[in-house]
Amino acid sequence: MPAPQRSPRERYRDQTRAEAKEVALDQLAESGPAGISLNAIAKRMGITGPALYRYFENRDALLGALITDAYRDMAEAVEAAAEQHRKKAPAGRLREVALEWRRWALAQPHRYLLLYGTPVPGYAAPEETYELADRALRTLQALFAELVPADLPPGRTALDRQLAALRAKRSGEELPPAALRRGVLAWTRLYGVLGLEVQGQFEGTGVDPELLYRAEIDSLLAEPW
């Protein structure tokens, strides 16, 4: 069934919101979240500040849209990597997913830091943000689930129970506790290396962050269950 026709007003609204977000991303790259200003965006677009407030209620609404877009783009990138390499063994797909996460972050560090950098003072993310943020992690956990030995005892810890409850609440999935735990460990450990790299913390250290990142992937895949 073809998609319903959108009115000129709806198309104009979408175009205006998209243009405003593009200008906001330029501000974000230049000055970080603190540099985002609806009045400055409106001026650059050639409209008045009050006119732009018809499309975004306030700065937090615009920030929320940028964050939502970034989480969705990141999740789609790692999901596409998993699909592109679907013929590889689970460990190979995990490696490709992790490397794609790094490529995404390095290609647009301002968006990565918007998601994982210093929290914006006073900003509270809407509930849907957490669902989108969870998508990339679900990809990791699903791949680890394929690596969990069939004879591994459940051995649920307090952390295992917490992660299982969160996964059931957010997606309705039931995965082996070990896969949930290993996915979170992968996320936190790879984020540690990647966050430092994006912020330029390896400069002058003589350490190649890509080699370190790949070493962390190797370590996660080699650790006993």
Which of 27, 21, 9 has the alpha carbon at shortest distance from 56?
21
Chain-centre distance of CA 48, in angstroms? 33
What is residue 33's DSSP assignment?
G
pLDDT digits (tens, 9 = 90+) for 54-77: 999 999 999 999 999 999 999 999
Give the pTM.
0.90
Burial 142-169 (b: 16+ CB within 10 A, else e): bbbbebbeeeeeeeeeeebeebbeebee
What is residue 120's DSSP assignment?
P
Sequence-distant (≥ 6) Cβ neighbours of residue 83 within 8 angstroms: none
pLDDT digits (tens, 9 = 90+) for 81-111: 999 999 999 999 999 999 999 999 999 999 9
Per-position pLDDT tens, the chain of length 225: 555 677 888 898 999 999 999 999 999 999 999 899 999 999 999 999 999 999 999 999 999 999 999 999 999 999 999 999 999 999 999 999 999 999 999 999 999 999 999 888 888 888 888 888 899 999 999 999 999 998 888 767 899 889 988 888 877 778 889 999 999 999 999 999 999 999 999 999 999 999 999 999 999 999 998
Helices (H), the chain: 8-31, 38-45, 49-52, 59-84, 90-107, 109-116, 127-145, 158-171, 177-198, 209-222
With a pLDDT cut of 90, the percent of the chain lying above it is 74
Residue 82: count other Cβ atoms within 10 Å of its Cβ.
Answer: 19
